[in-house]
Amino acid sequence: MNKTRIFIAAAVAAMALPAVAQSTLTVVNFGGANGAAQKKAYVEPFEKSGAGKIVSVEYNGEQAKIKAMVETRKVVWDVVEVESPDITRGCDEGLFEKLDWAKVGNKSDYQPAAVHECGIGAFVWSTVLAYNADKLKKAPTSWADFWDVKTFPGKRGMRKGARYNLEFALMADGVKPQEVYKVLATKAGADRAFKKLTELRPNIQWWEAGAQPPQFLVAGDVAMTTAYNGRIDAAQREGRNLKISWGGSIYDLDYWVIPKGAPNKELSQKYIALASSPDAQAEYAKNISYGPTNTKALAKLPPNVLAQLPTAPANAASAVQLDIKFWADQGEELEKRFASWSTQQ
């Protein structure tokens, strides 16, 4: 009798296991201030709703990890935040599930750039010129100032890679924001960008993680730096006198995707639907100055919050949208050239 009871109890427990597994989602993002804002705006409401438990994982955008999971059919991530060139490339390679928009939201509620067959835009962010107002007597206002080490002595922080830096180099060399990709698409334009970068190379301090630029500024390691606007916003909230020059900033979207073969597709779409709702996106923007992709969220934000977003009219006036197609087509070649260039003295 006892053996029978034990067998029945074990069978019931085994049947319950899939339900437990399906109620837990592994959500992957870039961490830092962004991750903290997501926790408050998305994770906590999702868990309080009773829909499921969230396990948050931080990564640095490594597509290779997703590709390895999909190819070996050992996918342990459910929802992943990816940058725009990666959603297009990953979608083409079959790394992501096709998004069922009927379970996420109305396409007409979102910025056109947020609508993708393999995902949905999570937020709008910018790579900007940032500086410490306690250390610079005069405020830089352009990428030409960023390159001007005589007027503004000191090191320059830059993300280690071709993306963004080549565009900034051309703007520093006099190319108008709206002409950047037209010029960069030519061999002469790419040569011009690398030549301009070479001028600044002795003064560059590279960064690879988003947390580094504000740290460099606070420590006085650099006079100014490229940075994610949300990281500067987070430092400002901590009382640091860091400032942003929005002229010639490059804005982009991050997207939510579901890796192909993810264990909890239905629950993943519920999470994405919540994170894409007007209320959740407005709450997110209040915690970090990244712009909502759901246009209905804007009406829920006070003027002081709106003014700090990349999508604010004054901030977007001379901004450049990262050209996803350009980087999908030419990015691999330019990144290889950059890797070779960066090792030269």
Three-state SS string over 161-229 comes to CCCCHHHHHHHHCCCCHHHHHHHHCCHHHHHHHHHHHHHHHHHEEEECCCCHHHHHHHHCCCCEEEEEH
Q: Are residues 67 and 130 in the same domain?
A: no
Predicted pLDDT of residue 328: 82
Q: Are residues 133 and 210 in the same domain?
A: yes
CB-hemisphere CA count at 13 Å for 273? 15
Q: Are residues 70 and 110 in the same domain?
A: yes
Total domains present in the chain: 2
Query: How do residues 259-286 score in pLDDT, each as one tens digit?
Result: 999 999 999 999 999 999 999 999 999 9
Q: Are residues 209 and 195 in the same domain?
A: yes
Q: Are residues 36 and 165 in the same domain?
A: no
Predicted pLDDT of residue 137: 86
Q: Report the share of the chain in percent with pLDDT over 70.
A: 93
Handedness of CA 227, 231, 233, 235 (dihedral sign): negative
Predicted pLDDT of residue 345: 65
Rounded CA separation 227/25 (Å): 30
Whether pTM exceeds 0.85: no
* DSSP symbol at 264: T
Q: Are residues 261 and 224 in the same domain?
A: no
- Please answer whether residues 161 and 258 qualify as being in contact, where contact means their C-beta atoms are separated by less than 8 angstroms: no
Q: Are residues 180 and 149 in the same domain?
A: yes
**Residue ranges of the chain whose pLDDT lies below 50:** 1, 3-22
Predicted pLDDT of residue 89: 87
For residue 288, the tally of other CB atoms under 10 A from its CB is 26
Q: Are residues 18 and 156 in the same domain?
A: no
Predicted pLDDT of residue 3: 44
The whole domain housing 94 covers 2-124+253-311
Q: Are residues 84 and 156 in the same domain?
A: no
Q: Are residues 174 and 306 in the same domain?
A: no
Q: What angle do CA 13, 19, 25 make, to 5 degrees?
A: 130
Q: Are residues 280 and 335 in the same domain?
A: no
CATH number for the domain harbouring residue 46: 3.40.190.10
Token pair for 247? 């002229």
Q: Are residues 146 and 198 in the same domain?
A: yes
Predicted pLDDT of residue 55: 97
For residue 71, the tally of other CB atoms under 10 A from its CB is 14
